[in-house]
Structure 1
Amino acid sequence: MPDKSRAHSFNAAAAQYAANRPSYPPALLDTVEELMGRPLPGARVADIGAGTGIATALLHERGADVIAVEPGDGMAAQFRRMLPDLPIVRGDGNALPLAGASCDLITYAQSWHWTDTDRSVPEALRVLRPGGALALWWNTTAFDVPWIAAQAERITTRCGASSVPQARPDDSSAVRLAGLSGLHSTRRQMRWSRAVPLDTHLANIASYSAFLVLGEADAQAFLADERGRLREIFPDGTVEETYLVDLLVATSS
């Protein structure tokens, strides 16, 4: 079951999340279109667990008719500030506030692992139109980059559990989709990077759910130590972050 305290922790840091979290590369939506077998322009899309609207905005820019679904007060308020012209409704993946057979595509960007799959799987299938698709994706850790791997280990040690996106947070719950009658799933991975100021990199780390429930003193001590380490690696203050987007698209017949 998802950790509810971690799931709700984002609401108090919605502005920080919006300002510092990475987006996704253009190749991601190119691949979603390829695997769902239709273009996004004109497609009816529901973005579940939309948060501050990072994925919702990209889907809208591609021409999709997109509606966001978000359970958190803080995240929904930040979404409305940033994307006032896009529709958002309150709800979560376990009980979608959407009509049956109403969507061509349902997306879960960094959010599927917060659902209870015993409930979210049948809900997604209820809302999906015949021939539609589900797309789940995460920005995961590029462990082949030495400084990133070392940082991930330090974060795990400090928080007492994995708090960086090492892989899909619950691989088994995602793969469950592949075994459902009438669904065919395909997994793809895409590597990408972004160059950001050191402050942005540290603020992104501080927006991880495990840090948001960590004591303030412990979190600030870790970030101060991390600042010193990264200054040695990136003396100009610009951090090159590398990600591996892990995507699973399941299509119905």
Structure 2
Amino acid sequence: MVLFTFNVINIEAKAKNGVQISDVERLKITEDNTKAILRTLDIHDNKASFFIEISLTEKLQNLIKAISSQGHEIAFYNKDSNLREIEEAKKKTEEFLEKQIRGIRQKDIRLRQEDLKMLEFNYVSNIDNAEILFPFKRLQRNTEITEEDGLSIVPESISPYSQLPYNDFVFQVLPMKYYKNMVFETLKNDDFVLIYLNSWQFTDFKKYPFEIPFYRSLFSGKKMEDKLDALLSWINEKEMATSRMKDYIF
């Protein structure tokens, strides 16, 4: 099973040469990038899970409704919100969607699992930092879903052969030929492959002069769309099963 997931988050990088990019513009970039992802998924009739950064949930209600109406899962991405803020966002989002939010993803700040269970989340999908040397730092990882404190804990996927993780950075820089081989070989060994990308990776950095490392701007924007399109085409051609996170876990 291939689990496609997308983190919907604003780009935080500063602009180059004193250019000002307002919060409104950053939000518009996030919306446009997410819509590009949705178009690509729709072309190939694939469903995915979208992890919306909690502080954006109220600002992106129309986008969230569009994502959900197309059959994708809405989950939360916790950047730095506290329990009260998460609870409030969850309640409001569930009210206007009329659907339960089951999943949450964390990276730098991780709340206690018992607290997340208290907020009636069903699963946690934590991720690590994906810097340029990150793939070489850890060579072993548990890749099985476990149950802890009443929550399903979904680990990041890692190739059992290349030892590369399926994070946003690896997808962006690895040639598609090798990435396909990695997916194919992993599914021979593991029950699922969890792939995650960030909405900001689909930004056209020639149009928006953000100050980001050179290796992070490589193959971004339209090239990321093309890469996602190529992977989805191949997955459908090989008749590989895909799923939203909540469907696969439950």
Please, what TM-score do these two structures have when normalized by structure 1? Answer: 0.34
Please, what TM-score do these two structures have when normalized by structure 2? Answer: 0.34
Higher relative contact order (CA 8 A, sep 6+): 2
Which structure shows the higher strand fraction? Answer: 1
